[in-house]
Copies of this chain bind each other. A is one copy, B any other.
Amino acid sequence: MLDKFKDECGVFGIFGHPEAANLTYLGLYALQHRGQESAGICTADGEKMRISRAMGQVADAFDERALDALPGHIAIGHTRYSTTGESRLLNAQPILIDCAHGQIAIAHNGNLVNASELRQRLVRDGSIFQTSSDTEVVLHLYARSREHTVEDALIESIAQITGAFSFALLTKDRLIAARDPHGFRPLALGKLDGAYIVTSETCALDLIGATYIRDVEPGEVLIISDGGMRSLHPFPPAPLAHCIFEHVYFARPDSYVFGRSVNDVRTQLGRILAEESRVDADVVSPIPDSGVCGATGFAEKSGIPMAMGLIRNHYVGRTFIQPQQAIRHLSVRIKLNPVRSVLEGRRVILVDDSIVRGTTSRKIVKMVRAAGAKEVQRPTRWRT
């Protein structure tokens, strides 16, 4: 899908590993598709906390010196898509602050619906905000909490927010994970040797060789310290409400999200589509890369052979200089090129993961026709 929502972020946390920063770096690498705007890692060694954040992708944001400057056996990390707040380093996460309860860092995937209301109240009472992001309100609530323990202050703070959140929080000696009662965003729990890991998607567990245990449950708060892992359910229960886009296009196909294989869900959607919309055609072509699972399912169910009728350019960069003279379909063609030998004279079924506004799809269809396709079918009932 080319007209993307920008609603995702990658969150990772680890407790109890001598190479916490290195493994968080690898974890963020695996979660890179959930946010390329900025990346950050914060570590703790029981005494001191350290942070490093930079604009851009994980591989650019950290070099060996940066990782060496992040000792400690506990870490959290974040890759960011700008859901709220401007695109600048100050808004990169984790956010690390010092307050009356000591130092705390936060990494957040989600959107808070009562953030601006809480912010106004906090400013009225004399708080000074550093960022324009949702996430900072949680920290101010925490800084102002009169509760006596880190745990109580944190639960009191989280209880005041509503919306979608999967948090990884770090203090000097604790990793805390929390997921909103609706379970909007995913958060999985894994283990590597003795270390606990939380991550937005299981592909990060695969990369570092960790084992998936279970999902952090909706409404659950996990507190992981030298004393082990404790699970709390301090919030009133709420109806489950998983975000469908996690399965459809946020997550990587090799991840398990909300307990199910993303590849299976997408392939199954392709099969259902083939059943619901019986069209005759010569070839099924995915719109790469996101449409490949669906196209595989569609081809399998319909018996129509699959072929790569479109090639994706893997070198597409952010900045792209347009010639002044109009070139037909350039904006699409720079990312995708039709394979004439697959399309020419054929009746083609194109399968994508999802369609938002449909403007890009229309351009792709035109381009595929211009490459010689006799008919182009977009299976109906894909979205209702």
Once the chains are docked, how many angstroms separate the CA of A320 from the CA of B328? 38
Q: Which residues of A pack against B, CB within 8 Å? A: 18-19, 22-23, 25-26, 29-30, 32-33, 36, 57-60, 62-64, 67, 97-100, 123-130, 139-140, 143-145, 203, 206-209, 252-254, 261, 263-264, 267, 289, 292-293, 296, 300, 305-308, 311, 313-325, 327-328, 330, 333-334, 337-342
> Residue A32 contacts which of B33, B57, B315, B327 (CB distance < 8 angstroms)?
B315
Q: Mind listing 12 A-B residue pairs with CB under 8 Å?
A: A19-B325, A57-B315, A63-B321, A98-B128, A98-B129, A127-B128, A206-B337, A254-B337, A263-B307, A263-B339, A293-B308, A296-B307
**B126 & A59 in contact (Cβ 8 Å cutoff):** no
A59 touches B261 (CB 8 A): no
| Residue in B203, B311, B314, B328 whose beta carbon sits within 8 Å of that of A209 in the complex | B328
Contact B123 A324 (CB under 8 A): no
| CA A292 to CA B314, docked complex, whole Å | 15
Pick from A321, A333, A340 the residue with the most CB of B within 10 Å. Answer: A321
CB distance from A284 to the nearest CB of B (A): 11
The reply to whether B307 and A267 form a contact with Cβ atoms under 8 Å apart is: yes
Nearest CB in chain B: distance from A212 CB, A: 10
Known: A126-B144, A314-B289. A321 touches B253 (CB 8 A): no
Q: Which 6 A-B pairs have the closest CB atoms?
A: A126-B144, A59-B317, A261-B341, A22-B323, A32-B315, A254-B311
Having A206-B337, A263-B339, A263-B341, one finds 19 other A-B pairs with CB under 8 Å, namely A22-B325, A29-B315, A33-B315, A59-B317, A123-B143, A128-B128, A203-B337, A209-B327, A209-B328, A252-B311, A252-B337, A253-B308, A254-B340, A261-B340, A263-B308, A267-B307, A293-B308, A296-B306, A300-B305
Out of B25, B99, B337, which one reaches A128, CB within 8 Å? B99
A311 to chain B, nearest CB (A): 4
B323 A308 Cβ-Cβ under 8 A: no
Query: A127: which of B57, B143, B252, B334 is its contact (CB, 8 Å)?
Result: B143
Q: By the criterion CB–CB under 8 Å, are B126 and A324 in contact?
A: no
Minimal Cβ-Cβ distance residue in B for A314? B314
Select which of B32, B293, B342 is within 8 A of A263 by beta carbon: B342
A62 touches B22 (CB 8 A): no
